[in-house]
Structure formats: structure tokens, C-alpha cells
Amino acid sequence: MELLFLGTGAGVPAKLRNVSAVALKLLQERGAVWLFDCGEATQHQILHTRLKPRRIEKIFITHLHGDHIYGLPGLLGSRSFQGGKEGVTVYGPKGLKEFITVTLSVSKTHLQYPLNIMEIEEGILFEDKDFIVEAKKLDHGIDSYGYRIQEKERPGPLLVEKLKEQGMMPGPYYRELKEGKKVVLENGSVINGVDYLGDSQKGRVVTILGDTRPCTAALQLAEDADVLVHEATFADGNEEMAWEYYHSTISQAVDIAKKSNAKLLLLTHISSRYTEEDGRQLEAEAKQLFDNCVIASDFLEVKVPLQTE
């Protein structure tokens, strides 16, 4: 599980930062990528990475401001032209379906894969045997959502040494035992994988918030998160401007991280007024408030480790 930032700027594209998009790479977990927001030129940013658009199976849009959605029609169309056949589900606020369908219709873009558009409300959006995705409405000028991606509890490690003590050396049975299944050996004896697994591993939590002022929903979504992605459009000292434009300052984002007990804070949606040198200074100031904090830059990749690592 890794996060790949494709755009970390706010409002308009800039030389230093493109507009909002972040990919959650779940290649080992499900062979797929989930994309959160898709600002203008997101597909251009993808060209500079190893990410394959055909791997994108879900797209979560936080809100319908242009710097978060203007790249979506192009990406959907290019994915089809590049041979993507597997279906895609796009989640987002009311109005998203009209935006996508009208744009594709007017441009005569015909997708070669099924597209499912789900206009959301607060609650559980998706759940399978491995993950739960929950959304809550944040405090912004238009409907803006935050997403909590929670991995379910993972089976414990296979106790290889214990198996070897029983005379069972590594082989094809190990995979089934790792899954907690029973296997029948050639001599007829039965081994239950459950008896050879260590303690289960707590699943990871990644919280990705859309544009927002500090609010209760942000705290709830970020509770005990392994990684919190929070906007920090303005530097400290600009609280009034942040409030007026429904955004957050760095220290306000840090406050959410501390109160929610998040382990790592990744700050994004940085105003284009800040230079690269400004960014280094802002990160230094942020670290004084919360040591495990990084101001994300375009193409930053962050691994979300298992809690045992």
C-alpha cells in the first residue's frame, strides 16, 4: 500500500505543483489503484510515473471545484484508448454524473469499459472482504467529502519454524495454510492452517480529506489513521483568509492530526503563492508542531507500512 501524489497545488496549475490528485496504490493487496481527485493534467502527471491507467478501478472525487475534476474526462477517455477493459467506479458529490456524461457525450468519447458513477452521501460507500471506505461531509463552500479507507484485519504470519518442527518443509501447501485452510498430506494426515498462524495484524487506515476548514468530520475520519492527507492551503498567520475561503492553515491541519491521533500527516493543496524555498520553511515550521509531518510534493511516494514493520 503506497500513496503517490500526482498533484499537490491549489486552485490553478503551477510550475512547481499541479492541481489535486493522489493515487492509493493497492497493487499487492488487490492489483489495483484508487485515485482521489483528478485535477487538470492528471494524466500528464501519470506519464512521469509507473502507474498504469488500466489499473485504476475506483476514483473518489472530494468535490466539484475545477482543480479537482477537470482532468477526469480526459483520463477516462485515454484509459479506453489505451486498452483498458475493466470497469471503473467513480464516487463523488451530486452533479458528478452530469459533469461526466455531458462531457463525454459532447466530445463523442465512447468508453470501451463499463463506467459506474455513484453520487454519494455520508456513510459507507464500499466494503468487501479486505477494505471499507467511509465518507463524511467536510466544511467547504460547496459539498466536499473526506474519505477513510480502512483495511480489515489481516491474518497473522505463517509460523514456518513450527511447521518445520513438524517435518513439513516449504512447498505448495504453505500458501493454503497461510490462508487458514486445511490441507491433507500424502499420508492422509490433516493440518489446519489456523493452528500455524501468528497473531492477526491490525489493518491500516488512510484518511484523505478534500478542501475544508477544521471540522468535527475531519477528526472523525482521521481517528487513529496511519496516514492523514490534509489540505494546508495557507501558512500560519492567514487564518482569516483561510476561514473566508473555506480552507485550512498548516497549524490547523496539525491540530486535526494531533487530536485524531494520526501517525503521519501529509500536507497538500499548497497555494501557488509559496515558492520551493517557502515550502521548505513551511515544512520546518510544521515539524516543530508535529514531528511526523511532510509537505507533499508532486510525485512523492509514501509507503503505508504494516503496524508490525
Q: Beta strand 115-119 with 88-92: parallel, antiparallel or unpaired?
A: parallel
Task: Flag whether 65 is marked binding.
Answer: yes
* Across 272-292, average pLDDT: 91
237/131 same-domain check: yes
pLDDT at residue 178, as a whole number: 77
Q: For residue 15, what are the contacts with CB-CB under 8 A and spacing of at least 6?
A: none
pLDDT at residue 166, as a whole number: 72
Q: What is the mean pLDDT of the chain?
A: 93
Task: Flag whether 211 is marked binding.
Answer: yes
pLDDT digits (tens, 9 = 90+) for 79-98: 998 888 999 999 999 999 99
Active-site residue, 67 included: yes
pLDDT band at 256 (very low <50, low <70, confident <90, very high): very high
CATH of the domain at 279: 3.60.15.10
Tell whether 308 is covered by a domain.
Answer: no
89/210 same-domain check: yes
pLDDT at residue 308, as a whole number: 59
- Greater pLDDT, 232 or 178: 232
From residue 50, how far is each of 23, 165, 175, 289, 299 by CA, in Å?
A: 12, 43, 29, 34, 11
187/77 same-domain check: no
Q: pTM for the whole thing?
A: 0.89
Domain that holds residue 181: 160-196
Assess whether pLDDT exceeds 80 at residue 40. Answer: yes
Question: Which is the catalytic residue, given 67, 226, 255, 298?
Answer: 67
54/73 same-domain check: yes
Task: Flag whether 44 is marked binding.
Answer: no
Tell whether 92 is covered by a domain.
Answer: yes
Assess whether pLDDT exceeds 60 at residue 309. Answer: no
Assess whether pLDDT exceeds 70 at residue 241. Answer: yes
Assess whether pLDDT exceeds 90 at residue 303. Answer: yes
pLDDT digits (tens, 9 = 90+) for 176-221: 787 778 877 777 778 887 887 777 788 999 999 999 999 999 999 9
140/88 same-domain check: yes
Q: What's the number of domains the chain is made of?
A: 2
